[in-house]
């Protein structure tokens, strides 16, 4: 058994953990990071990056199929396009390899000591790690729990056989002929859309009355329309009951209370993610919980002195950029800087077709603050760049206080609008007023002009509508 001591121990090398470790080491803190599986966590290995690679491959293939059908407006034609999904998956794996290798290199360059193995707390300052070469004990002044999250399994549809989580879906080398997606949140719809474009017959089963229930109906309408165009069947208000037909079908109770049988070669269950709080000795610590998550304060401190928690294990929104921002902040706090969570917004993106971006408050949330608000919404059908991209579906919307024009929230739906998220978040963080956005020159022709026009519209004098 080996024993080492350090000032900071980070458990989990996902986006929260690795950013925390790199920043801490930059600040001269002697740091150790432990990872049970692969550097990069869910995000780089089985989440953000692989899903976006698959979505891109599917988009390219769909464009070719569209060209082959002769129904595009550009005069393009193509003959019987084909896709080798195995090659696309190998390309995706190569990207993952480059990024995870890059993170390992950055940790090494920063002089973070990395230990491969599963960490388990003995007490709040001591952790033991089962490594390939035996038990390693790490004593630390401060510990950061960054153990992330795992897919939620349904009792009626346990993972295995034809029932898969997003992790297995991202590794398929052939598109299933019939795919049933259970859960119409962003992960289910991103992957369901990609497989529909790859040629699968996709049915989405959602228990709530509409898709993407966390977004307002106006934002999700263009996505629902596009799913219909792609031939994706939506069963909302419907509950998956059990696997049937020797694992090749599921029984579903429809909104009308009828039981129907959906034939499926694969069933993708995406009903949420839960914090990874098992198998690392939580019972040895006295940590308060916030529902199923670890409770933290505005400095990511848990209820135990010297123990911090960051990322998905601490709750919603379970997003990589939130985990990274928390990781950076905690490293700086440990280094003695005065920091606390003072973010005005955590932008969220749904990489569906079209994409959805939200930052700050939506109209309903803003109204609930009791203040009078102004809304400005500009359709992409009136934006020149969107026309040249044949991507006119969607809009940009700005929500602001009526008394002083302070921008409270910005939302968009449209092809490629994910790239506007930085501008939205910057405007909110900097406390922009409608006049600031309206008075900023936005390059022409770009979809970002719709952001300026939405602000002009909220001010009552749009130019292009
Ligand atoms: C399909 C999919 C698509 C997604 N797309 C997006 C997206 O587009 N944008 C976005 O922002 N987010 C996206 N997410 C969510 C994003 O992946 C997570 O929010 C993010 O990875 C959370 O980071 P984290 O550091 O908290 O945890 P994780 O990335 O989950 O990393 C935790 C790490 O801790 C390790 N670990 C756990 N327990 C131990 C232990 N006891 N000892 C040692 N190591 C341990 C795990 O092996 C893991 O590597 C997606 C997720 C999925 C599944």
Report how far ligand 1's centroid is from the alpha carbon of 181 (Å).
21
The tokens describing 458, both together, are 């909220």
Q: Which of 21, 96, 319 to mutate to test the pocket of ligand 1 (most atoms within 8 A of CB)?
A: 319
Bridge partners (DSSP) of residue 409 are: 360, 399
Peptide bond into 317 cis (omega under 30): yes
Peptide bond into 383 cis (omega under 30): no
Burial grade of 79 (CB within 10 A; 0-12, 13-18, 19 or more): exposed
Q: Is 241 in the pocket of ligand 1 (CB under 6 A)?
A: no
| φ, ψ (nearest 5 deg) of residue 241 | -105, -45
Burial grade of 70 (CB within 10 A; 0-12, 13-18, 19 or more): exposed
**Pairwise CA distance, residues 218 & 326, whole Å:** 31
pLDDT for 286 equals 82
Q: Which of 11, 33, 48 to mutate to test the pocket of ligand 1 (most atoms within 8 A of CB)?
A: 48
Q: Is 187 in the pocket of ligand 1 (CB under 6 A)?
A: yes
To the nearest 5 percent, what fractions of the chain are helix, strand and coil? 35, 30, 35
Residues serving a catalytic function are 444
The answer to whether the predicted template modeling score (pTM) of the entire model surpasses 0.95 is yes
Report how far ligand 1's centroid is from the alpha carbon of 301 (Å).
20
* Radius of gyration over every alpha carbon of the chain, rounded to an integer in angstroms: 24
**Pairwise CA distance, residues 34 & 21, whole Å:** 10
H or E stretch covering 424: helix 421-429
Among 42, 22, 125, residue whose Cα is nearest residue 312: 42
pLDDT for 441 equals 98
**Pairwise CA distance, residues 306 & 303, whole Å:** 9
The tokens describing 134, both together, are 């035996």
pLDDT for 58 equals 98
pLDDT for 253 equals 97
Which residues, in sequence order, are CB contacts of 116 under 8 Å at separation 6+? 34, 35, 36, 131, 132
Report how far ligand 1's centroid is from the alpha carbon of 405 (Å).
37
pLDDT for 74 equals 87
Place of tokens 């001010």: 459
Counting from 1 in the atom list of ligand 1, the atom nearest the Cα of 117 is 43
Among 465, 461, 439, residue whose Cα is nearest residue 452: 439
Report how far ligand 1's centroid is from the alpha carbon of 86 (Å).
24
Digit-by-digit pLDDT tens for the chain (465 residues) are 799 999 999 999 999 999 999 999 999 999 999 999 999 999 999 999 999 999 999 999 999 999 998 878 888 888 999 999 999 999 999 999 999 999 999 999 999 999 999 999 999 999 999 999 999 999 999 999 999 999 999 999 999 999 999 999 999 999 999 999 999 999 999 999 999 999 999 999 999 999 999 999 999 999 999 999 999 999 999 999 999 988 899 999 999 999 999 999 999 999 999 999 998 988 889 899 999 999 999 999 999 999 999 999 999 999 999 999 999 999 999 999 999 999 999 999 999 999 999 999 999 999 999 999 999 999 999 999 999 999 999 999 999 999 999 999 999 999 999 999 999 999 999 999 999 999 999 999 999 999 999 999 999 999 999
pLDDT for 72 equals 82
Counting from 1 in the atom list of ligand 1, the atom nearest the Cα of 348 is 11
């Amino acid at each position: 058994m080996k024993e080492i001591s350090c000032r900071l121990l980070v458990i989990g090398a996902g986006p929260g953990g690795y950013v925390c470790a790199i920043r801490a080491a930059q600040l001269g803190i002697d740091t150790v990071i432990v990872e049970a599986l692969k550097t990069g966590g869910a995000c780089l290995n089985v989440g953000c990056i692989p899903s976006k690679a698959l979505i891109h491959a599917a988009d390219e293939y769909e464009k070719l199929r569209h060209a082959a059908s002769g129904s595009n407006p550009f005069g393009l034609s193509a003959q019987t396009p084909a896709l080798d999904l195995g090659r696309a998956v190998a390309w995706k794996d190569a990207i993952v390899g480059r990024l995870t290798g890059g993170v390992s290199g950055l940790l090494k360059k920063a002089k973070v000591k990395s230990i491969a193995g599963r960490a388990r707390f003995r007490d709040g300052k001591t952790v033991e790690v089962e490594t390939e070469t035996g038990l390693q004990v790490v004593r630390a002044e401060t510990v950061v729990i960054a153990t992330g999250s795992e897919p939620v399994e349904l009792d009626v549809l346990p993972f295995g056989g034809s029932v898969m989580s997003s992790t297995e879906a991202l590794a398929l080398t052939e598109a299933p002929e019939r795919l049933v997606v259970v859960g119409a949140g962003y992960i289910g719809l991103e992957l369901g859309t990609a497989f529909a474009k790859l040629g699968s017959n996709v049915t989405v089963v959602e228990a709530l009355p509409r898709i993407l229930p966390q977004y307002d109906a106006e934002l999700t309408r263009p996505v629902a329309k596009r799913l219909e165009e792609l031939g994706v069947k939506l069963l909302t208000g419907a509950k998956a009951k059990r696997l049937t037909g020797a694992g090749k079908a599921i029984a579903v109770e429809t909104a009308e209370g009828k039981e129907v049988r959906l034939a499926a070669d694969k069933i993708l269950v995406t009903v949420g993610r839960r914090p990874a709080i098992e198998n690392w000795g939580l019972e040895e610590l006295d940590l308060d919980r916030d529902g199923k998550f670890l409770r933290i304060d505005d400095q990511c401190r848990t209820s135990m002195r010297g123990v911090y928690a960051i990322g998905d294990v601490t709750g919603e929104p379970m997003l990589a950029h939130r985990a990274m921002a928390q990781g950076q902040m905690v490293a700086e706090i440990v280094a003695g800087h005065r920091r606390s969570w003072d973010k005005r917004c955590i932008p969220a993106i749904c990489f569906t077709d079209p994409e959805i971006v939200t930052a700050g408050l939506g109209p309903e949330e803003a109204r609930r603050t009791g203040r009078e608000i102004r809304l400005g919404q500009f359709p992409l059908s009136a934006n020149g760049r969107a026309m040249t991209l044949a991507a006119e579906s969607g809009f940009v919307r700005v929500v602001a206080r009526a008394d002083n024009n302070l921008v409270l929230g910005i939302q968009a739906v449209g092809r490629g609008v994910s790239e506007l998220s930085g501008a939205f978040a910057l405007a909110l963080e900097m406390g922009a007023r409608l006049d600031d956005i309206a008075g900023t020159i936005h390059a022409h022709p770009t979809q970002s002009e719709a952001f300026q026009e939405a602000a002009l519209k909220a001010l009552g004098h749009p130019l292009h509508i």
